[in-house]
Amino acid sequence: MSLTANRKIAPVRTRFYLTRPQVGSGVKPFTHMPRKRPVLDLHAPRSRPTLERQIVIRATIVGIQPAIWRTVRLPESFTLHQLHRILQLVFGWLDYHLYEFRVGGTAIEGPHPEAEGATTPDFTLRALKLKARSHFQYTYDFGDGWEHDLEVLEFVPMPDGATLDWSPRLIAGESAGALEDSGGPFGFQRAVSALSNPADPEHETYRAWAGQTYDPQRFDLWALDHALALASAWGAV
């Protein structure tokens, strides 16, 4: 039989005592420090949050008639590299040549191994301080020299104030995109001339190269905008 069977075991309690340290021990006595409450200055200037806006840009290929142009809408927070991808898609370029933007006389290169300094992924459209009716330039393929004039048409609020719509959209445009590697504006105009004239000696050659379905005058807003929306949803912009 256990000797403690009929005995109640008192719980062990640990007590802590604050003792005044001895003089000369080097230990500072315990003191209670009141908690400081932050002081609210009602007259201090308040910083306003940056409202997300969209920028509407009209891009036109320089040196071609009838004009080939596109109007796109995208968030100001997008980078120049994202704008490059949008332009590639809506103009039908194939994105295998170098490119650059020129803003206020300053060239900003696309990312490549020999690029010097900051490149297009480092600059948002908001950081450029663009204004309505201002212009900047986009050049694709330095061999053919496809120059695009970019005009800022306006700034608009996001479609939904509660849920931001980050999707870039194609709003309007005219004519099919120029043919890649056609020799720039002059070479492209020659190709269009040959394609539109079955009696041209080079008609069949240009038709075989451009494809049987290519029509310089055809512009399909719905198809291009749908492709842009899908590319954005898939993270390709």
pLDDT tens sequence across 96-138? 999 999 999 899 999 999 998 899 999 999 999 999 999 999 9
pLDDT of residue 100: 98
Summary mean pLDDT of the chain: 85
Q: Between β-strands 99-103 and 106-109, what pairing exists: parallel, antiparallel or unpaired?
A: antiparallel
CATH number at residue 130: 3.10.290.30
What number is the average pLDDT over the span 140-159? 95
- Judge whether residue 71 has pLDDT over 50: yes
Same domain assignment for residues 201 and 138: no
Which domain does 208 fall in, by range?
Answer: 178-214
Q: What percent of the chain has pLDDT over 70?
A: 76
Whether 165 and 93 map to the same domain: the answer is: yes
Is there a single domain that holds both residue 125 and residue 159? Answer: yes
The answer on 135 and 166 residing in a single domain is yes
Please state which of the ranges 20-34, 39-53, 149-163, 173-187 shows the lowest mean pLDDT.
20-34
Give the number of domains in the chain: 2
- Is 24 inside any structural domain? no
Quick one: 61 and 162 in the same domain? yes
Task: Please tell me the distance from the alpha carbon of residue 66 to that of residue 20, in angstroms, as a whole number.
Answer: 94
Between the alpha carbon of residue 68 and those of residues 42, 114, 231, the distances in Å are 56, 31, 22
Verify that 120 and 170 share a domain, yes or no. Answer: yes
What pLDDT score was predicted for residue 1?
A: 44
As a whole number of angstroms, the distance between CA 117 and CA 121 comes to 12
Q: Is residue 21 part of a domain?
A: no
- What is the arithmetic mean of pLDDT over 26-39? 48
| 229 and 195 within one domain | no
**8 pLDDT more than 60:** no
